[in-house]
Amino acid sequence: MKRFLGMLTLVGFICSAEVTYAQVEKADQEFEQLSYSTALELYKKAFEQTKTVPILQKIVECNKRMNRYKDWEAWAAKLIAADNKNPDNYLTYGEALVRNGKYTDAKQSFYLFGRYSSGKLYESQFLQASCDSALYQMNNPQTQATVKSLDILSTPYSDWGLVKYRNGFVFSSDRPWEQKTIDKNSKKLYGWTGRPFLKIFYVESDPEKNSWGTPTLFSDFFNGEYHTAGAAFNERQNTVFFTRTRFVNTPETGTKPVLRLEIFMSEAWKEARAFKHNSILKYSVGDPAVTNDGTRLYFVSDMQGGYGGTDIYYCDMGADGEWGPFKNAGPHLNSKGDERFPTLMNDNVMFFSSNGRIGMGGLDIYRATREKEEWKNIIRLDYPINSPQDDFSLIVTKISGVPENADKIKLEGFFSSDRFDSKGADDIYQFTCVMPQFQKEYYYKGRTINNETGLPITNVTITVIDQASKVSNTYKSNEKGDYEVPLKPNRQYEIIMKKNNYFASKQIFNTGDKLRPDMLQSDLKFDPIVLDRAIRLNNIYYDFNKSTITAESQADLDNLVGVMKENPEIIIELGSHTDSRGDATANLALSQKRAQTVVDYVVAKGVPAARIIAKGYGKTKPLVMCDNTSDCSEAEHALNRRTEFKVTRLKTDMSASK
């Protein structure tokens, strides 16, 4: 009897394993088909049977891709508990915490991501800095901004992208709609979300009177089989641009479908035709924004050769009515992340969203101004317009002056967000905010100070160079060390400060980043030049027992190059030190090779070889004495392994000695 019961238990276990395997296999198929809502439920059922890390990772990824922020965080916490050594687990957990506004916890998770990762220190520090920035924004909100939900258009579905059109607005939504002609696609759902596909809707409105009609489908003619969204109109409103999606199998993906975007346009409501630069088998093209005259189109693409995941591009219409070659909008506008949803205000101001800059979390809204053919002066809009979640598709519907302050303007309009008080996946919000005029004069002021003593330094030469025009002006701090220099708004400046016997200081200052006058005040601190004082270079690493510099070291070596170029009067010695372990002669030779490698790098960057010499010290000058190598900890050995430079002479000394 016991043997029989044991056989039943074994059979039950095998059957359960087979059911679980079948569920996971089916879930993987749905995941590969981008049907994350279906895959998620199958993974969760499988996880009840067998709590494995791979299934847990897929559950986390499904919630992440569906922007289910709270579930994403909860499952990511379980993933950390199950596998606390995988750095990617800390990354996704930190991202989920950010989306839920838990910046302090997220910062710790990003720190652990950097600690357990190899070569991801910069990314970890960037993410931690974003947490600090967001906390500051939350604790010091811009009081001259208000945000409220546009409840009349809010549903449990996704509603976003309000754009002015005739006597109302169009917007994108995946709410159910009443089709004039019933066809096989009328009940089709999008597997990614489990909701209908996006369509374009129209609603009559008079925002001044807070009057809103009932939304209706904008056009059966424009709306396609899958997603149709993101409408943009020229000023005459006789041409519309919009985005459609398709599932395609590319040569690279084979049977695995890829969701790709294409732009279509319709003139005078004729049949929609494809945008010239669509290339659905190679990349996506979407998020159109058009200038008032309709002759320049901005769009977003993930094509190769950009600065990040998705970049903003543009192309111009020729005299023959055909679109010319496209160009990337440039590194000022585009980042290493994703830039999305550009909108234009008077053709020379752009609002767009990005997740590639220090911000609040997810997509944040930024403003850029155009100077000639370049978009510059990127500023992030303050909280509460930006939130820990995705914020995008901002349009300005009204601009007015601020009676009590002629240097500022008041903007009113709408944007979209999936923040926690939304009724659905995405909602439309109204906003007002006060910001500086696009053209006015700032004064950058403060005090020049000795960084070691804290005492003011007088007669510091301050050179201000407009990065766009290359026009420079020179000023000096007064007898109290106070300085004040005039700057134009929405400009990027290079500011160079020099004083004899002090290291020169240089910084890039962007007036477009500063919305509040108090942020234009800054003390400029200078380090005195002390001959033969060793200055440690941080983050200089070599491969084990080699003299080759790792890629991680180049940023700090570039800083040294900058110091040498900004201070052409200094002559330095570059010293390399080993720890106290190993043969003294071998260490001396290795340290000399390492020092020379650094010198060669600096010289290759344009610094004259006569201004820098290499000196290897081996283990002759330890910072921490170790009578026996076992007496020192690894941290103490690391202190002894260092690269330093010291100023040995100044060019003024050389001329005096001749």
pLDDT tens digits for 112-144? 999 999 889 989 999 999 999 899 888 887 667
The answer to whether 570 and 557 are in contact (CB under 8 A) is: no
Is the preceding omega at residue 384 within 30 degrees of 0, hence cis? yes
Residue with tokens 């008080």: 421
Q: How far apart are CA 371 and CA 349, in angstroms?
A: 10
Lowest-confidence pick of 223-227, 375-379, 521-525 = 521-525
- The third-level CATH classification (topology) of the domain covering 535-657 is 60s Ribosomal Protein L30; Chain: A; (3.30.1330)
Position 3 scores a pLDDT of: 42
Position 12 scores a pLDDT of: 43
Q: Per-domain residue ranges for the chain?
A: 2-139, 155-396, 442-526, 535-657
Position 468 scores a pLDDT of: 78
Establish whether domains 155-396 and 442-526 are of one fold: no
The answer to whether 511 and 491 are in contact (CB under 8 A) is: yes
Q: How far apart are CA 347 and CA 38, in angstroms?
A: 43
The answer to whether 334 and 378 are in contact (CB under 8 A) is: no
Residue with tokens 């103490």: 636
Residue 649's nearest CA partner among 597, 621, 612 is 612
pLDDT over 80 at 294, yes or no: yes
- The third-level CATH classification (topology) of the domain covering 155-396 is Neuraminidase (2.120.10)
Residue with tokens 């922020």: 69
Residue 448's nearest CA partner among 509, 385, 496, 396 is 496
Q: What is the homologous superfamily of the domain 2-139 according to CATH?
A: Tetratricopeptide repeat domain (1.25.40.10)
For 235-276, how does the pLDDT look when each residue is reduced to its tens digit (9 = 90+)? 889 999 999 998 888 887 777 788 899 999 998 777 889 999
pLDDT over 80 at 561, yes or no: yes
CATH 2.60.40.1120 is the classification of domain 442-526:
yes
Percent of the chain past pLDDT 70, that is, above it, reads: 88
Q: How far apart are CA 585 and CA 582, in angstroms?
A: 9
pLDDT over 80 at 628, yes or no: no
**What tokens appear for 445 in the block?**
């002021």
How much is the pTM?
Answer: 0.65
Position 142 scores a pLDDT of: 65
